[in-house]
Amino acid sequence: MIRLLAQYLRPYAPLLAGVILLQLTQAVASLILPTLNASIIDDGIATGYSLKAAAKAVRRRAPAWLVVAAPVGPAGAAAMFAGIADEIVIVVSPSVLTSIGALYDDFAQVTDSEVVDALESVESPRDGRNRGRGW
């Protein structure tokens, strides 16, 4: 019986090997990927819709732990992220929130090159080396 089965499966051997390799890759990935944590930090939550969309997109990638944080947001903003984020951090929740910028001493726009420069200046927590443009 085994010889008969082997005879009929022989032409499909490369395809079966590929399927087995994909199954192994998926199994290894499912063991590794859920060990990663993710943090999304915003400069402030006004309506919360863009931050919620970002949190949902990150959640689809199945991190082990997802933190959504902002220094300021309206009262009740944390409820928007229930079921999406594992942890929600909002430092200040004024009873009346007219604008995010009003709560900052300096809320000037930051250019893309300033962001890149800031990221390039940060050292990797793992090896102490500069991460460069790999971020």
pTM for the model stands at 0.60
Q: Are residues 1 and 24 in the same domain?
A: yes
Name the domain count of the chain. 3
Q: Are residues 28 and 79 in the same domain?
A: no
pLDDT at site 50: 92
By residue range, what is the domain housing residue 13? 1-33
pLDDT for residue 91 is more than 50: yes
3-class DSSP state for residue 86?
Answer: coil
- Sign of torsion, CA 106 112 113 115? positive
Q: Are residues 84 and 63 in the same domain?
A: yes
pLDDT at site 124: 57
Of the candidates 91, 72, 94, 90, the residue with the CA atom closest to the CA atom of residue 81: 90
Q: Are residues 48 and 87 in the same domain?
A: yes
Q: Are residues 57 and 98 in the same domain?
A: yes
Q: Are residues 43 and 86 in the same domain?
A: yes
What does the mean pLDDT of the chain come to? 82
| Strands ordered across the beta sheet of 65-72 | 37-41, 65-72, 87-92
Q: Are residues 7 and 55 in the same domain?
A: no
Q: How far apart are CA 41 and CA 51, in angstroms?
A: 9
